[in-house]
């Protein structure tokens, strides 16, 4: 069942979203050649603690860190370990916080210095796919309208959406109904027929591969990466459905 949030609850999530947005901004400033993923984790933990919030991911399903740091072929859930970020990398940071009883969640992929033309296009297409999905996130539309819009745009540009992971509802729990996949068709396994209503709070998150979409577990035991080693990109925002459309609670 999809929970409808009250205006007061969405107000709290808006506050949390602002805190998370500011934390992500500070983390993004540090994504440069030579920094280790674990150093980003240390900063994230300090910033979350200083904000009065708590990390959403640490301890969730056994995940031992606050921040997910996924590099190049890793799509999501990369462990912030000793890996050192290099010139030309694509680095995805995914972070959630728990503030006054509610979660917010966001992800952004950063280009490290000069990257390939393929990486530049992948970043541009994935970021645009999120905006296209948000345009379909309005009362009366269905979840599948978001999914189809994202899939069509990504595939038109020669890339593939990841089919083994999805967006989700969010609120008192980090993952709530509905599932929001980035594709539709005969293999679609989400809640495609759910009608969007004001008060729903959702995480839209296009995850895109420059090659094939099939994934495997990373060596760290937590991350997911492409089987063919192709570059990936991930953008995510927490949004709220309003009478006239949607608006972002976390921003870039």
Q: How far apart are the first and last CA of the chain?
A: 30
Quote the number of domains for the chain.
1
Number of helices (H) and strands (E), helices first, in the chain? 4, 15
CATH code (residue 111): 3.90.230.10
What distance in Å separates the CA atoms of residue 107 and residue 13, rounded to the nearest whole number?
Answer: 16
Neighbours of 51 (CB within 10 A): 16
Mean pLDDT of 193-210: 97
In a domain, 170, yes or no: yes
Neighbours of 42 (CB within 10 A): 14
Q: How confident is the model at residue 51 (pLDDT cuts 50, 70, 90)?
A: very high
pLDDT of residue 187: 53
- Sign of the C-alpha dihedral computed for residues 109, 160, 170 and 80 taken in this order: negative
For 131, the domain range is: 7-248
pLDDT of residue 191: 84
* Model confidence at 190: pLDDT above 90: no
Mean pLDDT of 184-206: 85
Backbone dihedral region of 114: left (phi > 0), alpha (psi from -120 to 50 degrees) or beta?
beta
Tokens describing residue 156? 């038109």
Which residue has 């390939």 as its token pair?
116
Mean pLDDT of 160-182: 96
Name the percent of the chain in helix, strand, coil, to the closest 5. Answer: 30, 30, 40
For 8-25, what is each residue's pLDDT tens digit? 999 999 999 999 999 999
Mean per-residue pLDDT of the chain: 96
In a domain, 55, yes or no: yes
Mean pLDDT of 134-139: 98
In a domain, 153, yes or no: yes
pLDDT of residue 126: 98
Before 178, cis peptide (omega within 30)? yes
In a domain, 1, yes or no: no
Nearest residue to 84 via CA among 149, 139, 38, 43: 38
What distance in Å separates the CA atoms of residue 226 and residue 209, rounded to the nearest whole number?
Answer: 8
What distance in Å separates the CA atoms of residue 123 and residue 71, rounded to the nearest whole number?
Answer: 13
pLDDT of residue 75: 98
In a domain, 2, yes or no: no
In a domain, 34, yes or no: yes
Tell me whether strands 201-204 and 237-242 are parallel, antiparallel or unpaired: antiparallel
Report the share of the chain in percent with pLDDT over 90. Answer: 96
Distances (CA, A) of 126 to 53, 94, 99, 178, 208: 29, 15, 28, 22, 6
Helices (H), the chain: 7-29, 37-51, 117-135, 143-156
* Model confidence at 189: pLDDT above 60: no
In a domain, 244, yes or no: yes
């Amino acid at each position: 069942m999809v929970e409808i949030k009250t205006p007061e609850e969405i107000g709290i999530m808006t506050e949390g979203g602002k805190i998370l947005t500011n934390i992500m901004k500070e983390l993004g400033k540090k994504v440069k050649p030579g920094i280790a993923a674990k150093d980003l984790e240390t900063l994230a933990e300090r910033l979350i603690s200083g904000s009065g919030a708590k990390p959403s991911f640490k301890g969730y399903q056994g995940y031992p860190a606050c921040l997910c740091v996924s590099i190049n072929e890793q799509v999501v859930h990369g462990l912030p370990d000793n890996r050192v970020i290099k010139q030309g990398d694509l680095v995805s940071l995914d972070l959630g916080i728990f503030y006054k009883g509610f979660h917010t969640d966001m992800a952004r992929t950063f280009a490290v210095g000069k990257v390939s033309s393929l990486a530049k296009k992948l970043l541009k297409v994935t970021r645009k796919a999120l905006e296209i999905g948000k345009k379909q996130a309005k009362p009366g539309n269905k979840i599948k309208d978001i999914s189809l819009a994202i899939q069509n745009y990504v595939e038109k540009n020669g890339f593939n959406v990841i089919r083994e992971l999805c967006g989700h509802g969010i609120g008192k729990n980090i993952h709530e109904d509905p599932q929001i996949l980035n594709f539709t068709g005969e293999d679609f396994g989400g809640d495609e027929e759910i009608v969007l209503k004001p008060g729903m709070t959702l995480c839209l998150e296009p995850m895109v591969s420059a090659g094939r979409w099939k994934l495997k577990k990373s060596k760290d035991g937590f991350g997911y990466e492409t089987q063919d080693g192709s570059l990936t990109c991930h953008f995510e925002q927490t949004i709220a459905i309003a009478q006239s459309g949607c608006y972002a609670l976390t921003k870039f």
